Structure 1
């Protein structure tokens, strides 16, 4: 399989359809069955104590798998999350962007499964690991 969309096309689509998160994520690298995405951490992503909130970590994992799938299958806006499991392994560095390294483990006709490792920018060890399953709308 080869890519059906570029990082620029996906970024434009996300900005149009999800304006509420426009500018929060950058697609740093998009390849076959994989993507690297940056979350630009700011005050809105922090919880008391200065660490990045769980919902922000989930959003990064979720959007990373979504981007990887769109890159492979093209524009299928109704591709949706059906399951997610996250292990929070260590506290992210304070006031530091998060980087998601995502790879698709399975890309079928109706389901996709992705795995995401999330790092503090410049960090050696992951701060979280997520596994997500997506439903892909059937072709008519």
Structure 2
């Protein structure tokens, strides 16, 4: 598969509609993650700053950041492949680099390799308005066999 030459197959709005049907549990308890944009081999998502994402000490929790990064990769994969609900995470490695600020968090995902069976990407997590990364994530997704 030559994923690097292919433009996105789905827009941010199309992905949002697809996920409302296929993955409604993502927004259980209220919507806090939104798709800012999709591009060839990537996507940017926003997680609204909210108390439910905090851990003791008042910082954004690791599980909240991991969920945002994982969802960003899923959105980037969907943008490239189209509506493939069964793409799943096989690996996610995160390095926490600094304490995030008390504001929205942005996840900028870039797919580094898009093959027939696996997609490998990296996600840069930043607090809105910050240049320095709060965390760096590398993730791999297993793609359904029907992908061509």
Normalising to structure 1: TM-score of the pair? Answer: 0.95
CA shift for structure 1 position 21: 2.6
Which of 64, 75, 84 lines up with 1:76 in the alignment? Answer: 84
Question: 1:84-99 alignment to 2 at 5 Å?
Answer: 84-94=92-102, 96-99=103-106
* Alignment partner, residue 17 of structure 2: 12
Q: What per-residue deviation string (whole Å, max 9, x for no partner) do you get for residues 65-89 of structure 1?
A: 1000000001110100000100000
* Alignment partner, residue 133 of structure 1: 140
CA shift for structure 1 position 19: 2.4
Question: 1:31-46 alignment to 2 at 5 Å?
Answer: 31-46=39-54
Q: Which runs of 4+ in 1 moved over 2 A?
A: 15-22
Normalising to structure 2: TM-score of the pair? Answer: 0.90
Q: 2:14 aligns to what SS in structure 1?
A: helix
Q: 1:90 aligns to what SS in structure 2?
A: coil
Number of corresponding residues: 139
Q: What per-residue deviation string (whole Å, max 9, x for no partner) do you get for residues 76-123 of structure 1?
A: 1010000010000000012x1100111000001110001000000101
Matched, 1:119 2:126: yes
CA distance in 1, matches of 2:8, 2:63: 29
- Calculate the aligned-residue CA RMSD, in Å: 1.1
Consecutive unaligned residues of structure 1, counting only runs of 5 or more, are none
CA shift for structure 1 position 13: 1.8
